[in-house]
Amino acid sequence: MIPGKMGKMLKEAQKAQEKLQVELAELKVAGSAGGGAVRAEVDGQKNLVAIEIEPEALEDADASMLSDLVLAAVSDAQRNADDEVQKKMASLMGGLGLPPGMGF
């Protein structure tokens, strides 16, 4: 590979990584459990930003069951965030034309 071309590709990769970080900070992804009785929202870095619990879930659930629903909703949101991050990374990496193994 030509050195000048490699430098240009690395600069493009750095810009793509910076763009990805901004997009991840702004990304909000939801997950749920108990048929939607508990909903969680995380950002693109999988930080929990919101929890919503339907009032009916409070009436019908004991503390242990409610805890399980909250954990399941958060896990679901985090899995969904992973999926979204992978899609965004694949999209960015595909546009860079980097050789195999040169991802970030």
Q: What is the CATH number of the domain that holds 54?
A: 3.30.1310.10
Number of domains forming the structure of the chain: 1
Look-up of token digits 């900070």: 25
Residue 88 half-sphere exposure toward CB, CA atoms < 13 A: 20
What are 13-68's pLDDT values in tens digits? 788 888 888 888 889 999 999 999 999 999 988 999 999 999 988 887 789 999 99
What are 59-104's pLDDT values in tens digits? 877 899 999 999 999 999 999 999 998 888 887 777 655 555 555 4
Domain assignment of residue 66, yes or no: yes
Domain assignment of residue 103, yes or no: no
Domain assignment of residue 3, yes or no: no
Boundaries of domain holding 30:
26-92
Domain assignment of residue 20, yes or no: no
Domain assignment of residue 80, yes or no: yes
Contact criterion met (CB below 8 Å) for 13 and 98: yes
Cα(53)–Cα(36) distance, rounded to whole angstroms? Answer: 9
